Amino acid sequence: MGSCTIPNTILLFVVLGSFLKASLGAISNDSFWLLKIQLQFNDSMGVFSNWSPSSSICTWNGIQCSDDQTRVVGMNLSNSGLSGSISPDISRLVSLQKLDLSMNYLTGLIPPELGQLQDLQELLLFSNYLSGQIPVELSHLKKLQVLRIGDNQLTGEIIESIGELTELRVLALAYCQFNGSIPSQIGNLKQLKSLNLQVNNFGGTIPKEISGCQELQDFAASNNKLEGEVPSSMGQLKSLQILNLANNTLTGSIPLELSGISILKYLNLLGNRLSGEIPLEVVQLPQLQILDLSRNNLSGNISLLDFKENKNLEALALSGNSFTGGFPKNLCSQNSSLRTVLLLGNHLSGNFPSELLKCSSLEVLDISDNNFENELPSQLDKMQSLTNLLLNNNSFSGGLPPEIGNLTNLVSLYLFDNMITGEIPTEIGKLQKLSVLYLYDTQMSGNIPNELMNCSSLSEIDFFGNHFSGPIPDTIGKLKNLVFLQLRQNDLSGPIPISLGYCKKLQTLSLGDNKLTGSLPKTFGYLTDLTLLSLYNNSFEGPLPESLSLLKNLTIINVSHNKFYGSVSPVTSSSMLSLLDLTNNSFSGPIPSELALAKNLMRIRLAHNHLNGTIPSEFGQLKDLNFLDLSSNNFTGELPSQISNCKKISHFLLSNNQFSGIVPSWLGTLNDLGELDISSNKFTGTIPHELGNCSKLLKLSLNQNMLSGQIPKELGNLTGLNVLKLQRNNLSGTIPETLGGCKKLFELRLSENTLTGSIPPELGTLTELQVILDLSTNNLTGEIPSSLSNLIKLERLNLSYNQLNGHIPQSLGTLTSLHALNLTHNHLSGKIPTTFQNFPPNSFSYNNFTCDGTSCPLTARHELSNAAAAGIVVAIVFSATVICLYLLYLMLRIWCKWKQASIADGGNGGGVVVGKDGDLSDEYWDLNKIKKKDVSVSMTSCIFNQDSMSRESSKRILV
């Protein structure tokens, strides 16, 4: 007995010793590999501070050991600020069950060696910067239950062998760059509960085999490129609670089979191309909390939808479809949980939905962009929980109910683009939480109530395009949180309140198109956050306050069409400026060179002032400048060559100044130039042929200067040119036939020069000419080319005061659009075409036409002899003398007899001295008046209508 006991004891010690040696060897082995793995990481937060061979591995940060402390089974270094790459040596931790390296800064590939971790159950690598593809070796992890590797830069396709991971519960691949299709093998994952594929580039169809995932509770594949129909087989996923397929290109109808998922809580199909009607059975899913079908092609009358079976609905979004009717039935019950209703952008109509007045829980209501009409109900205040009310872009009429003031939780109110009339109710002042108030483009009137200034949370006010009158409330400075104030296009009057300067958070101030007066308050200097200042088209006056120079964040300034005077310096100190418009004021002095410090300046408009001096050469530093308008000032000097550096300039307008020197050739290097107007200056020299390089040029106005030489043939390269004005210069030589290449010309003026030669037949190819062809007052010879008959759109033709001869081509009679014709003062002969009989005779006078009967009584030239002329003068003088003596006799007689009546008769006499018939040529057509006034102005607005300030073209432009 004893002899047997000793050997058994020895045997026990041997076994225990062997086990202890193996155990210590295993843990020692894991320690070795962990220290080696550590070397691959950059530790910015000191997570490895206690990883030391002298301490137990099971006490190291992020390490979990087995219950018997013999093996490492878990590594959790999530959100530890680690960078570097994942070491393949992690595969040496053969007992590892959970690896979490998520939310770090790791780069590189997912090591294929991780597929050797046969005990691994959870692999979490999400929210890093990993790249490459999913290693196919991961399919060897037969015990894997959670695979979350999304929010990386991974590419490629989902490996088909993913279906071999039959224990998988969670597969999260969202927010990567995966492509390809969803493999049908997904259906083999019988234990899968969550599948997240959203925000990738997956294409193809959703495999019908997904119905095999009977445990699936959450399926999200939004923001991909999935196509085809929603598989009806998804209705077999009885455990599904969340289905999110938003923002794909799915087509077809919403499958009725989805109504079989009785526990579905979240259904999001927005942003697809689904069509047809919504199955009633789907909206009546008893557990449904959120239903979003927005931005599809769905249709049908939603008044037929009945939500009586659904008591859990919290959010309904059907926006951006083609639904008709009024409002769904039974959407709000007594104990409703409904918080959000979004029906914007449909074709809904009728009155404001009375059904909504039952929704005391409703917080967000958006029924904008529909056809709702009539008055807003006074019971609006029943929706006590409302925070956001959006009714804009409908046809609501009547006044704004005073009860609106009872919605004390209201944060934003959008009523713009309706037909709301009347005044803003004073009760609005009770809305202490109101932050956004948009009433623009309605028909409201009256004063802006002082009570509105009690809404201390207001950050945005937009009253654009109404009929508000009276002053801006003096207490507006109480709105300390105001960031955006838009009162443009109203009938407001009076000065800007001094207190406005105390709205120190203000970034946008737009008061244009009103009747405001007075000077700008000095308190504007407190608005240091201001980025946009728009005061155009008012009656402000006085100099700009120097305090404006403190506003260093200003990017847009428009104070045009006012009565400001003095220096422009206060508005040129912001280096952030991108647009400056001071047009139509009385500013004087030079342009400060400091303006060029605003390197982002794109538009400078200083026209119609009294500015003088030269263009600062520093403007050449404005690389983004595309619009420079200095017209109608008193600028002098030559054009600085530095402007040639402004390669983006498209509008260069200098007309009506005193600029001199030559027209510089560097203008031809401005490849984006669309409009060049240097008319009415003192430029000399020739027209540079380099202008023919400006291929984007639409309007070229060099008229009323002292230019000489020939018209460059290179202008014919301007194939997009609409307007060419060269009149009133000293140009000579012939009209270049290359102008026939300007096929889009609809206005051509070459009058009042000394051009010679014949009219090029090529002008007849300019079939878009419409406004005028004016070659008058030159020395042109030869015949009128018959090719001009091709100008079928032409409205005015002036060839007067030349040396033209020959007959009028009969084919000109086909110009049915022609309503003004002047051929006077030439040497034309023959008969006037009968098709011109509608034009007055003085259209043809002073030529050598022959007459037949009474067809042209006034067309021949008449030369008076000296004796005849003298006789006419004597007769006129004699007649005038007799008339004057007779009138004097009458006045003396009246004075003597009826002194009171003389006053009245004297007034009548002043009205009688009017010629019976004026000069026919003046009545008919004064070409110079036309070209100076209506035509030139109208054509500018036609071609460059983006500069107009009309309501239509600048409806939501703040400047």
Least confident of 129-143, 400-414, 809-823, 926-940: 926-940
Counted domains in the chain: 1
At 433-447, the pLDDT tens digits run: 999 999 999 999 999
The residue with tokens 């037969």 is 142
Tokens found for residue 880 = 């005038």
More confident residue, 860 or 767: 767
- Tell me, what's the pLDDT at 833? 87
Tell me if 217 is assigned to some domain: no
* pTM as predicted: 0.80
- Tell me, what's the pLDDT at 890? 58
- Tell me, what's the pLDDT at 907? 34
- Tell me, what's the pLDDT at 307? 87
**pLDDT for 880 beyond 80:** no
Q: Is 590 left (phi over 0), alpha (psi -120 to 50) or beta?
A: beta
CB-CB contact of 247 with 269 (8 Å): no
Tell me if 954 is assigned to some domain: no
**pLDDT for 332 beyond 80:** yes
Rounded Cα gap, residues 554 and 227, in angstroms? 48
Tell me if 806 is assigned to some domain: yes
Rounded Cα gap, residues 254 and 276, in angstroms? 8
Indicate the residue type of 245. L
The winner for highest mean pLDDT among 688-697, 805-814, 870-879 is 688-697
Q: Residues near 775 by Cβ (< 8 Å), separated by ≥ 6? A: 735, 750, 751, 755, 759, 798, 799, 802
Burial per residue of 455-471, b for 16 or more beta-carbon CB atoms within 10 angstroms, e otherwise: beebbbbbbbbbebbee
Mean pLDDT of 639-649: 96
Of 69, 87, 81, 75, nearest in space to 27 by CA: 69
* Residue 768: CATH number of its domain: 3.80.10.10
Q: Residues near 612 by Cβ (< 8 Å), separated by ≥ 6? A: 588, 589, 590, 633, 634, 635, 636
pLDDT above 70 covers a percentage of the chain that reads 86
Question: How many degrees, rounded to 5, is the angle at CA 789 between CA 786 and CA 793?
Answer: 155
Tell me if 614 is assigned to some domain: no
Rounded Cα gap, residues 11 and 458, in angstroms? 87
Q: What is the mean pLDDT of the chain?
A: 88
Rounded Cα gap, residues 807 and 280, in angstroms? 82
**pLDDT for 455 beyond 60:** yes
Neighbours of 32 (CB within 10 A): 14
- Tell me, what's the pLDDT at 881? 61
pLDDT band of residue 834 (cuts 50, 70, 90) is: confident
Residues counted in the chain: 959
pLDDT above 90 covers a percentage of the chain that reads 81
Tell me if 489 is assigned to some domain: no
pLDDT band of residue 927 (cuts 50, 70, 90) is: very low
- Tell me, what's the pLDDT at 414? 97
CB-CB contact of 160 with 138 (8 Å): no
Rounded Cα gap, residues 446 and 468, in angstroms? 5
**pLDDT for 793 beyond 50:** yes
Mean pLDDT of 133-139: 96
By CB atoms closer than 10 A (0-12, 13-18, 19+), residue 253 is: middle
**pLDDT for 901 beyond 60:** no
821 lies in which domain range? 756-851
Neighbours of 341 (CB within 10 A): 26
Phi, psi of 869 (to 5 degrees): -65, -40
Neighbours of 548 (CB within 10 A): 23
Rounded Cα gap, residues 316 and 685, in angstroms? 73
pLDDT band of residue 925 (cuts 50, 70, 90) is: very low
Tell me if 802 is assigned to some domain: yes
At 422-431, the pLDDT tens digits run: 999 999 999 9
At 167-198, the pLDDT tens digits run: 999 999 999 999 999 999 999 999 999 999 99
- Tell me, what's the pLDDT at 860? 42
Mean pLDDT of 791-804: 97
At 367-413, the pLDDT tens digits run: 999 999 999 999 999 999 999 999 999 999 999 999 999 999 999 99
pLDDT band of residue 826 (cuts 50, 70, 90) is: very high
Helix (H) or strand (E) holding 457: none
- Tell me, what's the pLDDT at 503? 97
> Which one-letter DSSP state was computed for residue 471?
P
Tell me if 205 is assigned to some domain: no
- Tell me, what's the pLDDT at 883? 66
Least confident of 218-232, 636-650, 853-867: 853-867
**pLDDT for 868 beyond 80:** no
Mean pLDDT of 584-613: 96
**pLDDT for 606 beyond 60:** yes
Q: Bridge-partner residues for 74, per DSSP?
A: 64, 98
Of 572, 665, 650, nearest in space to 611 by CA: 572
More confident residue, 947 or 44: 44
Rounded Cα gap, residues 538 and 503, in angstroms? 22
- Tell me, what's the pLDDT at 852? 58
